[in-house]
Amino acid sequence: MDESRDGLKPDMDRIAAWTERLCGIPGLSGAEDPVSTVIADELKPLAPNQHIDVLGNLTVTVPGSDPGAPKIMVFAHTDQLGLVVRRIEPDGFLRVERLGGVPERVLPGLEIVVTNARGEAVPGLVCVKAHHATPPEEKGVVLTADKLRLDVGAESAAAVRALGIEIGAPVTYRPRFQRLGPHRICGTAIDDRAGCAVLMDVVRAVVERPVPSTLQAVFSVQEEFNLRGAMVAAARLRPDAAVSIDIMVASDTPDLAERGELRLGGGPALGLYSFHGRGTLNGTLAHPAWVRVLEGAGTAAGLTLQRSAHTGALTDSSYVQLVGEGIPSVDVGYATRYTHTPVEMCDLRDLVGLTAWLHAALAAMPAGFSFARRA
């Protein structure tokens, strides 16, 4: 799409600005409050009906224009993956554990931030043996996270603690964000801060252009940790159906060309199948009623949609769908390159398309709408 022709630039700029702001906030799983606080403050003038549960999920509710229409929970996760301090060495170096799917091959030499007890971001880096002293047999070896050390410039354990750092302190990639060309953005925790920005924009859209359905926008927690944070919100809200907004692995780079057909700028994506395949036998098969609604809404809105079916990744829809007697669930998302690395990339046109798509879907479910599996 050409932004000079389709008039998308203001929408792209708004979502880019929200994404940039959110990407700049360290928010490891379990320490997402600074992220949800910014979201809540930003949306308060538009949607004051807000709730934060014990786990930290932020729910923003926008009542629909038709009291008999379905209640739809749309959620995106506020947390990011990273590390946790597990030991402070006498010489001031830190030892860590992984939290979430951190690719260990990207860690040595990486800039990080440690969030101290006062909520301050203490800069540091992941130690790497000096190249001049590394023997040939070690140069291609990837160390596991438990063998790495972090350096925050302290000369002793006492100096580390004087910085407000204790065991359990969250560690995340140093925040980055930039725009590349007219449509692309890249940054730290695009997964899923760009999804949060889309959900913020969906809230704006249904406030400005009301729909029959009630929107329960949930900015969820702990997705990168155990995929179950959104379950708490779903158990409280008991929606009629649920939608997860998250990344989907792009296959438009040479190394992934045969994985699928997702490409940046190709439009928002519908998840038909996801399965983790490692450590948990769980995944999401798109509920057929959702497939009908979303495909119809996409056609009505004139959108080009992409489709995804993949093994190796999950969203927390895989557990939300199991709440109560079952919640019709589906994944939607945006193609993303370089996932779980310090700098991920996506396309603003896909994010804008997600807002339009979800707004159209919420508008297509009046009173009497049924999520029966068979049409």
Residue 223: what are its φ and ψ, rounded to 5°?
Answer: -65, -45
pLDDT higher than 90, residue 313: no
DSSP three-state, residue 342: coil
Two tokens, residue 113: 């931030």
CA distance 219 to 337: 23
pLDDT higher than 50, residue 141: yes
Q: pLDDT band at residue 7, thresholds of 50, 70 and 90? A: low
CA distance 343 to 15: 18
Q: Mind listing the pLDDT tens digit for each residue in 359-370? A: 999 999 999 999
Residue 369: CB atoms within 10 A of its CB come to 18
Q: How many CA atoms lie within 13 A of 369 on its CB side?
A: 24
| Among 134-138, 218-222, 347-351, the least confident range | 134-138
Tokens 């998840």, residue? 271
Percent of the chain exceeding pLDDT 90 equals 91
Domain boundary assignment for the chain: 3-80+188-363, 82-173
Q: What is the pLDDT of residue 138?
A: 87
Q: Mind listing the pLDDT tens digit for each residue in 42-60? A: 999 999 999 999 999 999 9
Residue 28 pairs in a beta bridge with 80
CA distance 28 to 285: 28
Rg, Å, the chain Cα set: 21
Two tokens, residue 223: 């997705």
Q: At 74, which helix (H) or strand (E)?
A: strand 71-77
DSSP three-state, residue 21: helix
CA distance 103 to 124: 18
Q: Mind listing the pLDDT tens digit for each residue in 279-294? A: 667 899 999 999 999 9
Give first-to-last CA distance, the chain, whole Å.
Answer: 33
Question: Do the domains 82-173 and 3-80+188-363 match in fold?
Answer: no
Q: Which CATH architecture has domain 3-80+188-363?
A: 3-Layer(aba) Sandwich (3.40)
DSSP per position, 29-66: TT--HHHHHHHHHHHTTT---EEE-TT--EEEEE--S-
DSSP per position, 168-234: T-EEEEPP-EEEETTTEEEETTHHHHHHHHHHHHHHHHHHHS--SSEEEEEEE--HHHHS-HHHHHH
Q: What is the pLDDT of residue 374?
A: 84
Q: What is the pLDDT of residue 63?
A: 97
What CATH number does the domain located at 82-173 have?
A: 2.40.30.40
Q: pLDDT band at residue 316, thresholds of 50, 70 and 90? A: very high
Query: Which sequence positions are flagged as catalytic?
Result: 223
CA distance 374 to 370: 10
Two tokens, residue 275: 């399965």
pLDDT higher than 90, residue 9: no
Burial class (CB in 10 A: 0-12, 13-18, 19+), 279: exposed
- 183-194: average pLDDT: 97
Q: pLDDT band at residue 76, thresholds of 50, 70 and 90? A: very high
